Amino acid sequence: MNINKPKISHLGDSSIVVRFSDKINSEDNDKVYSFYKLIKEKNYSFVNDVIPTYNSVAIEYLQSEKTFFEIKELVKSLTDELSEIKFDYEKKIIDIPVKYGGKYGPDINFVADYCKISREKLIELHTGVDYRVYMIGFSPGFPYLGGMNYKLVCPRVKKPRINVPAGSVGIAEQQTGIYPIDSPGGWQIIGKTFLNLFDLSNKNPSYISPGNIIRFRED
């Protein structure tokens, strides 16, 4: 998929989704942030929110002011305008100490069994790489990380949990992430960090920003 020809669809009657690819990779994520930045800079009065994800950007607009087709035309002209793919990542390395397994990581044995590796190997593989923060979503401050070792790929839990405690570190498919606040969730939980990842007394309540580099280590 070319940046100039993204797939555009509605998601309900007041949101539009602009999709640049179906994959997770840093090039497509760069396209997302270039477009995200452009829309944010325009500061349109009829735009309520702009949400970047792995490979798409969602725009929430006021349907009392613009129709879907008007927004779609606007998006087309903006992607044409977008010749340069540029996003200044804040390449800050964030160190996250994690207590793996036990009561903090109830699914660690399931993941190890599913991946046919030992618990020790799982921790080694999970702490062994630097992760790129592709997006923040799901719940306040929740970072979606890319770059996980393919040997750790495993499905979500069949039935989402009602409550996953703050700080829990999880795996789902090719993704790994941290739950910054208590919330329901469907990821396999392998450990927990005691860092406060979401704090309303800070100017930016989210400890982690898109573009950061996350490094897990065993606590």
Partner 1 sequence: MPYLRVTSPGLFSSVQDNGRDGMKSIGISSGGALDTQSYSMSNYILGNSKNDASIEIIGGGFDAIFSEPTFFCVTGAHAKNYLDKKLILSNTPYYASSGSKINIGILEDGWICYIGIIGGVQSKKYLGSRSVYINSEIFGERIDKNTKINYMEKKYSPKPKIYRIKNEYTNLSISNEVTSIRVLESTEYNKFTEKSKKLFFSSIFTISDQYNRQGMRLNGPEINTKKDNHDIISNYVNKGSIQVPGDKMPIVLLSDSQTTGGYPKIANVISVDFTKLVQLRPGSKIRFVLTDIVEAQKIFRKNNKYIEHNIYEKKLEKISLKVNGSDISFGYLFGDNANLIDIDGRLLPLDFIKEL
Q: Point out which residues bind partner 1 (CB under 8 A).
A: 9-15, 17, 19, 22-24, 36, 48-56, 58, 60, 63-64, 67-69, 135-142, 144, 155-156, 158-160, 172-173, 175, 181-184, 186, 198, 200, 204-206, 210
Compute the least distance from the CB of residue 147 to partner 1, in Å: 14
Look-up: residue for tokens 């080694």?
124
Q: Choose between 48 and 109: whose C-beta lies nearer to partner 1.
A: 48
CB of 131 to partner 1, least distance (A): 15
DSSP tag of 177: E
Are 82 and 35 contacting, i.e. CB atoms less than 8 angstroms apart? Answer: yes
Q: And the tokens for 191? A: 């450990």
User: 123 vs 207, which CB is nearer to partner 1?
Assistant: 207
Judged by CB, which is closer to partner 1: 40, or 217? 40
Kindly state the smallest distance separating residue 132's Cβ from partner 1, in Å: 15
Considering the complex, what minimum distance in angstroms separates the CB of residue 22 from partner 1? 7
Burial (CB count <10 Å: 0-12, 13-18, 19+), residue 6? buried
Q: Which two tokens stand for residue 190?
A: 């392998």
- Give the single-character DSSP code of 150: G
> How many CB atoms lie under 10 A from the CB of residue 163?
9
Cross-sheet strand order for the sheet of 15-19: 7-10, 15-19, 56-61, 47-52
Q: Which is nearer to partner 1, 83 or 200 (CB)?
A: 200
CA distances from 132 to 67, 94, 136, 138, 175 (A): 36, 10, 11, 17, 11
Q: Which is nearer to partner 1, 114 or 119 (CB)?
A: 114
Q: How far is the CB of 118 from partner 1 (least distance, A)?
A: 25
- Of 3, 48, 63, the closest CA to residue 29 belongs to 3
> Least distance (Å) from partner 1 to the CB of residue 160?
7
Q: 67 or 109: whose CB is closer to partner 1? A: 67
Name the residue among 26, 3, 57, 18 with its Cα closest to residue 145. Answer: 26
